[in-house]
Structure 1
Amino acid sequence: MTGPDERTSVRNSAVDRRRRGESLERGTAAMDVAALLVRTGTAPVVEPPRPSAVTSVRQWDAETLAAAITAVANRYTETPIDADTDFFDAGGTSLAAVELVAALARELDIHPDLDTVFFDARPRRLANRWLADHPESAGPRTDEQPDTDDLAQLFADLAGADRLPLVAAPERVAPRRILLTGVTGFLGSHLLLDLLRHSEAHVVCLIRADDDAAAAQRLEHALRRFALPWSREVLRRVTPLAGDLRRPRLGLTDERWETLAAEVDSIVNAGAAVDFLRGYPSLRRTNVLGPLTLAELACTGRPKPLHHISSLAVFNGADAATLSEDEPTANVAALPIGYDRSKWAAEAALRRAGEHGLVVTILRPGGIGSHPETGAHNPRDLNSGITAALMRFRTVPGFRYLNAAPVDWVSRVAAAIVGTPSAWGHTYHLTGPPVSLEQVVAETTLGGLGIRVQHWEQWCTDVVQAIEDGPVPELASLAQVLQSPVARTQLAAMVTAPPASAARTDAFVAANGLPAPVVPTPAARAKMLAAMTGLGPQQGEDPYLRFHETLTGAVGPVGAAADLPCDLRLTLSVASSAQAFSARTLDVSGELTCGQLHEGPLTVEGTATVRPHDGTPLRHEVRHPIMHYQLTLRDSSGGTWWLEGYKFAAARRRLVRQLGTQVIEIGRTGEPASYTGEVAVPMHTYLPDQIDGIEIDPRLSERQQRLAKLLWLSWFGSQLGKSLLEPVLRVGIDLLDLRRAMRKEHRR
C-alpha cells in the first residue's frame, strides 16, 4: 500500500560531501544492507573495521551515550538534531542510516541493528535501547526516561484530538483558497495541478524550506520532476509557504498562523512520510501529529473542512472478505509495521476530531500507479518496485489482488471531491477495479512477459539475490526493503489483501461525469517502467522470441549488373511481444559475407519493421512494402557501412517468393549507396528457420512457450497476409475507378 510522500528519497548533496567511507562492522543486518549497496553501486566501497586494541567493555550512562550518538548522527542529516529529534525527520535517508550504524560501530563500539534505527531513530531512544539490551555496557544508573511502547505512544497521540475545541459545521460552499500539504510528493504534485485545472481556487502550498523563495524552488523542481507543467500562470494561483507539517503550528509564527487560519477555507493533507522500514515512533510526527495540527488549524477562526489522504494500509492484517469504504479498519495491534499504524492512528485521531464538529473527508488510495501518458512514477513506491522486478526478473509474488489506480485518476477524483461540498465528510476508496493474480498472469503471458509465480518469502529472497548478482542499482531501494524482516511482514499483508470496493467513489464518479481510471495491462506497465528506468532485458539475456533468416543473392555497383555473391545469416528477435505487436519492430543481428565489400564477414545489427508505413506504397512504386530492414555493417577494424532493404508485395502469382525476396542498397556510412542487388530466402531454409526454428524464452513454462509461438505465428502471418492482399485490392480499386471513368466518358 502506498501513498503520497513529501520526503525526498534522493540523498542531499550536503550528506554526499560528508561521506568519508566509514568502515563497516560485519555480522549485523545493517552491514548486510551496506554490502548490498556497495555491490549495486549506490554506496562507496569502505574498509572493514580494524580490530580494536581495547578489550574491555566501555561503560556508558544514558545521557553521555545519547550525546555521543547525537554528535555522530549530525554528520548525516540535513539539519542539526538534538537527542530527542528523529534522525529521519532531520533529513536522514536510508543510505545515511546504514552509514550511521557503521560509524556508531567504529567510533562508539555500539552495534544497533538497522531495524532498531528505523523503528525509532531518536538518539536518546537508541541509547536507552542499547543499554537495556547490553547491561554490561551500562555505567551508574541515572533517572533516564523509560523506553515507551509504540502502541502506548500511539494512544497517547490520539488524546491530542480531545484537546480540540468544539466547532460549528463549516459553510458548504466550493473552496476559494485551499491549504495543500505534501505538494512536492508524487500524488500531491498531481493533486495541485488538478485543483488548479478544475476549480477557481487559489492554493497555498505548505513546503518544508528555509523561506518562501526556497519553497517556490522546491515546488518548481517537484513539478518538473514528475513531468508536470510549470509556468507563471501556475505560480500566479499558488502561494508557496515555508513551513513544516511535523512541527507545532506548522513551524509558523503566531502571526502567520492566525493569518493562514483566517484566509484559507479548505485544507487538503497529502503530506506523509512513506517508509516501510521506519517504526511508528519515527513516523508519528509527520503522519499523526501533522494531521492533528491541521485539525487544529481547521478549528481556528472560521471552521474549515479537512480532507485527509490516508491509505488502504489501515486494513493490512484485517480478515474482511472485501475492503469496503465503511468496513471497520484492522485492529491496530494486528497492523504489521509502523507506516500502517501511523495511517491508522491519523484516521482515528481525525474521527475523534469529527466528534468535535470538524468535517473530515478520508480519501484512501491503494497503490498509486504511474501516469499513463507521461510515465511519471514514484521510484520508491513498492508497487513500482514489484513491477520493475516483474519486468527485470520475470517473477512476481503470489498475491491475491492488486488494489491500485493511476496517479492522474486518483488526483482528479480527489480534487473533484474537495471541490464538491455535498461530498464532504465521507470515506472514499480511490482505487481502480481490483486485479487478481490470475489476470496478471494471463495479461503478461499475452503481452510476452510470461512470469513465474512464487511464494512471497521465496520471491523476496530470489529478487534480493538477483539484484545483488546483477548488480541492478535501480532496484537497490527495493532490495533494502526486502531485506528487512519488518518490511517483509508488511509485504506478507499485501500478498493476502482482499479486493477493495469503492461503491461511494464509483457513485460520485458517475454522478459528476468523471472518467474511469485508465489502467494499463501489467505488460504495458512493465514496458513503460522499463523505458523509464532502463530495466528492459539486458545484454546476454534470452529475448522473448527469436528466429533465424538466411538470405543469398548478389549485388553490384550502382548502375551495373548484380553479379557479386552476397549472403546474410540473420537472427530476428523481440524482447517482448509488445515490441512487435505495438511497434511492429524486430531486432536484427548476424553477419553479412560479400568479398567485394570486405574480405571477412561483416557484423550486422539493426532493426526490421513489419508492414512499414502501414503497407502504403513508396513514392513512385506500385509495390507494397512487406518489411523494411535498416542495418549497420561493421568490419573487424571498425569500418562501417549501411544497408537498407525492402521486401515488397505486388499483384502477381509468386506470392511465396515475394515474402522471401529483399531488394537491398549498401553504402559507406555518410555516403550514398554504392551497391544494389537482391537477396532471397532459399525455400528449403524457410520452414526449419522461421517456423520450426522459432525459439522462445526458456524461462517461460512449456505451456507459455507453446502459446507464445502460436500467438507469434498468428500475428506475423496476419501481417504478411495483409501485405500480400493490399496490392491485389489496389489493382481492384484501380479497375473500378477506370470502369467508372469509362462509363462517365461514354455518357458524354
Structure 2
Amino acid sequence: MTAQNERVPGPAGRVPGQTERVAARHAIIDRRVNGENGSTGMDIAALLAATGTPSRTAIERTDAPAEATDTGATLPAASADSDPAPPADAAGSGVTMAPEPVSPGLTSRAERADGGVMATTESVGEGVSRRWGLDELATAITAIANRFSRTPLQADTDFFDAGGTSLDAVELVAALQRELDIHPDLDTVFFDARPRRLAQGWLADHPELLLPQTESPAEDHDDLAQLFADLSGADRLPLVAPPERVAPRRILLTGVTGFLGSHLLLDLLRHSDAHVVCLVRADDDNAAAERLEQALRRFALPWSREVLRRVTPLAGDLREPRLGLSGEQWKALAGEVDSIVNAAAAVDFLRGYPSLRRTNVLGPLTLAELACTSKPKPLHHISSLAVFNGAEAATLAEDEPTANVAALPIGYDRSKWAAEAVLRRAGEHGLVVTILRPGGIGSHPETGAHNPRDLNSGITAALLRFRTVPGFRNLNAAPVDWVSRVAAEIVGTPSAWGHTYHLTGPPTTLEQIVAETTLGGLGVRVQHWEQWCEDTVRAIEEGPVSELESLAQVLRSPVARTQLAAMVTAPPASADRTAAFVAARGLPAPATSGPAARGKMLAALAAAGPRPDAEPYLRFHETLTGTIGPVGDSADTQCDLRLTLSVAGGAQVFSARTLDVGGEFACARVHGEPLTVTGTAIVRPHEGIPLRHETRHPIMHYQLTLRDAAGGDWWLEGYKFAAARRRLVRQLGTQVIEIGRAGEPASYRGEVAVPMHTYLPDQIDGIEVDPSLPERQRRLAKLLWLSWFGGQLGKSLMEPVLRVGTDLLDLRRALRKEQGR
C-alpha cells in the first residue's frame, strides 16, 4: 500500500512540510539520548514519544537482513543496506554510475572513542554561532557520524550505507547540536545522510554561519537531477546478442536473506535443477553461509546439507561496483552463471532517493553490467507496484505506463521507478529483462512466516486488535508462497522472459474485508484513514501495545501517512499475463479469497483473541432451574442458574465452538448466598461422539467455577445430551450437573432445565449484539449466529437417530450372515 501525493521537491530539494522542526525539540532529544549518566541506551520509542518527534523508522537496533524483500510498503526498520560494508567507490568497471567523490576524513569509530571533533561554539555576534567553511563542517560532521556508523564513512558516504540505524540517526542529530551547534532535522538526515550534503544544506539555510570569503555552497538536493544522472549509466552498457533461451543451470540470486528472497531460493531449488549462487553481504563466504542459514531458519524454511549442496554463498555487496568482488571473482561469476534474479532492495519509504539509490538503482545497473559481461544472461528484477503511485489509471495493468516520476511522493517509489527505467534502457542494448511486480506480500499460509515490518501486516494486526480498518478501495496483495512460486516458474521458463508480470492476487475490496470479518465475528468499524491513524496511535500508546509500537511510530510520521493514503484511492491491479501464465503452467491461484482464505481469517481471529475491554460481539441469557441432592441420594433441593453466554468473536465459536459463561448460581444446600459463576460452554463437545459408557450424544458441555464472596470455590460440570427418543426440544434445555468443592470429587448431582416460557425471549429475541456495530452488521451477526447454532443443535439431535439406524443395519447384516451359515 503506497501513497499517492502531490508533493515534489521544493526549494533546496526538500519535501515541503518535512524540514521545519523546533530546535528545542532536538535539545530534548539531546538530554534524553545522553541523560545525566551519558547513556545512549534509551528506547527510541519512548524517546521520540517524549519529544513529539515523528519516528522515521522502526525502533529496533538490529543486524537486519542485508537484503530486505520489497513488499511495496514496509514499517521502516534497519534497511536493506544497514549491514557492514565499505564506503562506495567512485565508479564501476565498464559502466560509469554517477561517481561519488571521496573526501578526506577520519576513518574509524575506534579512533573517535575520545570524542572526535569537539567543535566549540564561537561567539561572532549576539545570537550567532560559530562560522564554518563547507569542507571544515563536512569533515566535522563526518567525524561525529563515524561514532554511530557500523563501518567507516567519508564525507560523501551515506550514513545508512555505513550501517547507521534510525536510533543512530537520533543520536547523531543530538551530537551535532551539542558539539557543533547545528540542528539538522531528522527528516533531512533521512532524505540524504551524506555528511557533505548535511553540511551543504545547513550552510545554505544559514548563510550567516558561512565564513567570509567562502563560496556559498550550492544546494544540490535535487533528487530528480540525481535520478536522471543515474539513468544515463545504462547508456554506456555494451550492445549484446539475446541470451540462449534454455532453462538456467546456474542462477545468481540477490536479496536471499529477505522475506521473499529466502522463499524464492527454496522454490528455485524445488522446481528446477539449477544451482543457485547467493550474493550475501558478509565479510567472507563462511559468514555469508551463516547469514543465509539464519535467514532461512528465521522464516521457518528448511536448511540442510541438501540445500547447501546446491547453493554457493558468495560474500559481496550489491551497492558496490562489481558487487564488491575482485576482478577475478567478477570475471568468473560472469562466465559461470546463466541467469540473474534480483530480489534485493532497500525497503524504507522514509529515506530519500539519494539515500536509497545505491542499492535500489545502481545495484540493478551493476547486475545489468554483469548480464552483459561474458555470455549474455537474462535478468529478472523484483520491482513493486509502487511505480504506479501518483498515476491516474483506472486499472494498474501490466503494460500500463508507470507514474510520472515527479508525481511519485517519496524516495522509495522513485528509486523503484528509476530501477525499472534503467533496466528498460538496458533492454534497448539487447539485454532480456523480466520485471516482476508484487504488491503487498502476505504471510505464508502454512508456516505463518511473515515480514513483521510490512505495513500490510501492521494494519492487519491493528485490525485484529482494535476492530477498526481504514477506508480504502482495493488491496493488491498475495501470500509469499504464491509470489515466490510464480516468480521461480517464470525464471525457469524461457518463453516467459522479457515481459512484465504483476504478482498479485485478485484485488481485495473494503466490502470483502468487512463481509469476511463480519462472518468471522469481528465486526470491524470503517474509519477515514486520517482518523484511523489518530485513533490507532492513541490506542497503542494508551494500551500500551508493545507489539504494535513499530506501527505507531510509522503512523506518527506525516510522510508515512502519505504512503498509507494510497489505500483510499489506489485502483485495482490487473494481472492478465500472470493469470494466463499460471493457468498454462498448472499453478494454483493465490489463496486471497473464497472459503480457504476465510478459514485463514477465522484462524487468525481465534489466535488474536478478544480485547480485554472489548464489548462482547454477541450474548444471550439462559435460565435453568431444577433440583440437586447428595451423590447417591435423590435430588431434593431447589437450585437455579441464571447465566449469560457470550461470544467475543465469531472465530471463537466457528473454530473452537466455545462460549464464555457468567452469571449466578443459587442453592441453599451448597451455600447460603448466591454464588458467582464463570466458565465456558462447548457446543458439540467431542464432535458429538458419546462419552465412555454412554449411549447419549453430548450437545453441550458446561465447565463452570462457582465462587462465594469470601473466595471459596466449587466446580460445576454439566452436559446436555441427545438420545434417540421423543421430546427433542426438551433435550436442548435439560442439563445433567455435578457439583463439588474445588479439588474434591462431586458432592451433589442433579438435573436442571430451561423453562419453556423463557427460551424464546432469552435465546432468540434476547440476543444482544455489540451496539457499536452498524445496524446492518448487528442484524447479520444475529442471523449468522442463529444459523450456525441451530445447525449445530440440529446435528446433535440427529446423531442418536443416525446411530440407531446404523446399529439396526449392522444387526440386519449380522442376522443375514448368521442365517446364511
Q: Name the TM-score, length of structure 1 as normaliser.
A: 0.88
> 1:59 aligned to 2:81?
no
Asked whether the equivalents of residues 375 and 528 of structure 1 are also in contact (C-alpha less than 8 Å), the reply is no
Match of 1:84 in 2: 156
Q: How does 1:323-402 map to 2 (within 5 A)?
A: 323-402=396-475
Identity in percent: 79
Match of 1:161 in 2: 234
1:334 deviation in Å? Answer: 0.8
1:424 deviation in Å? Answer: 1.0
1:184 deviation in Å? Answer: 1.3
> 1:94 aligned to 2:94?
no
Structure 1, 640-649 or 706-715: larger mean CA deviation:
640-649
Structure 2 CA distance for partners of 1:155 and 1:32, relative to 1, 3 Å: closer
Task: Choose the corresponding residue for 2:362, options 272, 279, 289.
Answer: 289
Match of 1:465 in 2: 538
Q: Give CA deviations for 1:292-342 in whole Å, capped at 9, x if unaligned.
A: 111111122222111100011111111112111111111111111111111
5+ residue gaps, structure 1, are: 3-14, 43-51
Structure 1, 68-77 or 111-120: larger mean CA deviation:
68-77
1:432 deviation in Å? Answer: 0.6
Q: Give CA deviations for 1:671-709 in whole Å, capped at 9, x if unaligned.
A: 655554433334444334322332212221111111111
Asked whether the equivalents of residues 555 and 675 of structure 1 are also in contact (C-alpha less than 8 Å), the reply is yes
Structure 2 CA distance for partners of 1:702 and 1:20, relative to 1, 3 Å: closer
Match of 1:134 in 2: 206
1:99 deviation in Å? Answer: 4.4
Q: Give CA deviations for 1:204-235 in whole Å, capped at 9, x if unaligned.
A: 11112222222222222222222212222222
Q: Give CA deviations for 1:112-152 in whole Å, capped at 9, x if unaligned.
A: 33322222222322232233223344444357564230000
Structure 1, 277-286 or 438-447: larger mean CA deviation:
438-447
CA distance in 2, matches of 1:516, 1:296: 35
> 1:709 aligned to 2:782?
yes
| Aligned AA (1:78) | R
Asked whether the equivalents of residues 115 and 484 of structure 1 are also in contact (C-alpha less than 8 Å), the reply is no
CA distance in 1, matches of 2:724, 2:606: 40
User: Residue 700 of structure 2 aligns to a residue in which SS?
Assistant: strand
Task: Choose the corresponding residue for 2:334, options 261, 285, 310.
Answer: 261
User: Residue 268 of structure 1 aligns to a residue in which SS?
Assistant: strand
Structure 1, 349-358 or 129-138: larger mean CA deviation:
129-138
1:157 deviation in Å? Answer: 0.7
Asked whether the equivalents of residues 685 and 698 of structure 2 are also in contact (C-alpha less than 8 Å), the reply is yes
CA distance in 2, matches of 1:190, 1:516: 17
Match of 2:23 in 1: none
1:724 deviation in Å? Answer: 1.3
User: Residue 646 of structure 2 aligns to a residue in which SS?
Assistant: strand
Asked whether the equivalents of residues 295 and 306 of structure 1 are also in contact (C-alpha less than 8 Å), the reply is yes
Match of 2:565 in 1: 492
1:169 deviation in Å? Answer: 1.6
Q: Give CA deviations for 1:619-678 in whole Å, capped at 9, x if unaligned.
A: 321111111233455667777665443211112223233212222345566665555443
| Aligned AA (1:648) | F
> 1:271 aligned to 2:310?
no
| Aligned AA (1:66) | A
Task: Choose the corresponding residue for 1:659, options 723, 732, 735.
Answer: 732
Q: Give CA deviations for 1:158-184 in whole Å, capped at 9, x if unaligned.
A: 111112222222221111111111111
Structure 2 CA distance for partners of 1:229 and 1:699, relative to 1, 3 Å: farther
Structure 2 CA distance for partners of 1:425 and 1:32, relative to 1, 3 Å: closer
Structure 1, 312-321 or 562-571: larger mean CA deviation:
562-571
Greater RCO (Cα-Cα under 8 Å, separation 6 or more): 2
CA RMSD of aligned residues (A): 3.4
Asked whether the equivalents of residues 375 and 529 of structure 1 are also in contact (C-alpha less than 8 Å), the reply is no
Match of 2:184 in 1: 112
CA distance in 2, matches of 1:98, 1:77: 12
Asked whether the equivalents of residues 385 and 438 of structure 2 are also in contact (C-alpha less than 8 Å), the reply is yes
Asked whether the equivalents of residues 590 and 603 of structure 1 are also in contact (C-alpha less than 8 Å), the reply is yes
Match of 2:490 in 1: 417
Q: Give CA deviations for 1:236-275 in whole Å, capped at 9, x if unaligned.
A: 2222222211122212222222222222211111001111
Match of 1:514 in 2: 587
Structure 2 CA distance for partners of 1:186 and 1:21, relative to 1, 3 Å: closer
User: Residue 724 of structure 1 aligns to a residue in which SS?
Assistant: helix
Asked whether the equivalents of residues 25 and 105 of structure 1 are also in contact (C-alpha less than 8 Å), the reply is no
Q: How does 1:473-552 map to 2 (within 5 A)?
A: 473-520=546-593, 527=602, 534=608, 536-552=609-625
Q: Give CA deviations for 1:44-82 in whole Å, capped at 9, x if unaligned.
A: xxxxxxxx9998342242334434444444444433433
Q: Name the TM-score, length of structure 2 as normaliser.
A: 0.81
Task: Choose the corresponding residue for 1:241, options 314, 320, 326.
Answer: 314
Structure 2 CA distance for partners of 1:555 and 1:207, relative to 1, 3 Å: farther
Task: Choose the corresponding residue for 1:121, options 161, 173, 193.
Answer: 193
Asked whether the equivalents of residues 23 and 106 of structure 1 are also in contact (C-alpha less than 8 Å), the reply is no
User: Residue 154 of structure 1 aligns to a residue in which SS?
Assistant: helix
| Aligned AA (1:510) | A
Structure 2 CA distance for partners of 1:572 and 1:219, relative to 1, 3 Å: farther
Task: Choose the corresponding residue for 1:19, options 41, 45, 50.
Answer: 41
Structure 2 CA distance for partners of 1:614 and 1:31, relative to 1, 3 Å: same
CA distance in 2, matches of 1:267, 1:548: 65
Match of 2:90 in 1: none
Structure 1, 555-564 or 576-585: larger mean CA deviation:
555-564
CA distance in 2, matches of 1:25, 1:653: 70
